[in-house]
């Protein structure tokens, strides 16, 4: 399930972002799969920085029950945390406690697209079902 979702996300973001895809990582408590890591991103990041970012994504996914409890029920089920930095947009699609898919894009990639997060969300939700 997760491998198929990651492959679909990679195809989707490569097609839609014109080289703006930086990375895709799937994770759970037992494993991490770096599905895609653009060469320039890999050369600018240490293994410790990558591990720290993955740990942060894992922690975010464990916070889903808190978000769902804080916001009104009509918001529905929590699906994705989007963090926008000056140069990078991080999307963390939480699948379960400690499990999900983290996608990083160049910030400009978000400027050039419409509905990018909602369409990627559909891919993740298809795999969750």
pTM listed for this prediction: 0.84
The 10s digit of each residue's pLDDT in 61-109 is 999 899 889 999 899 888 889 998 889 999 999 888 888 899 999 988 8
CB 36 within 8 A of CB 23: yes
Domain boundaries, the chain: 2-128
Give me the mean pLDDT over the 47-57 stretch: 92
pLDDT digits 0-9 by tens, 1-48 = 577 888 899 998 898 888 899 999 999 889 999 999 999 999 999 999
Question: Where do runs of H (alpha helix) occur along 18-115?
Answer: 39-44, 47-62, 64-70, 107-111
* Spatial contact of 88 and 102, defined as CB atoms under 8 Å apart: no
CB 83 within 8 A of CB 89: yes
CATH topology of domain 2-128: Beta-Lactamase (3.30.450)
> In the prediction, which pLDDT does 128 show?
66
Task: Decide if 9 contacts 103 (C-beta within 8 A).
Answer: yes
């Amino acid at each position: 399930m997760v491998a198929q979702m990651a492959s679909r996300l990679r195809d989707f973001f490569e097609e839609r972002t014109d080289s703006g895809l930086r990375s895709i990582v799937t994770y759970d408590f037992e494993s991490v799969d770096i599905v895609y890591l653009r060469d320039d991103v890999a050369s600018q990041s240490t293994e410790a920085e990558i591990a720290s970012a993955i740990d942060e994504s894992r922690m975010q996914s464990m916070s889903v029950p808190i978000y769902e409890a804080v916001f009104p029920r009509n918001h529905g089920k929590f699906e994705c945390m989007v963090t926008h930095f000056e140069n990078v947009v991080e999307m963390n699609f939480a699948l379960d406690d400690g499990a999900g898919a983290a996608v990083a894009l160049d910030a400009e990639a978000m400027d050039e697209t419409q509905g990018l997060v909602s369409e990627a969300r559909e891919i993740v939700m298809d795999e969750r079902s």
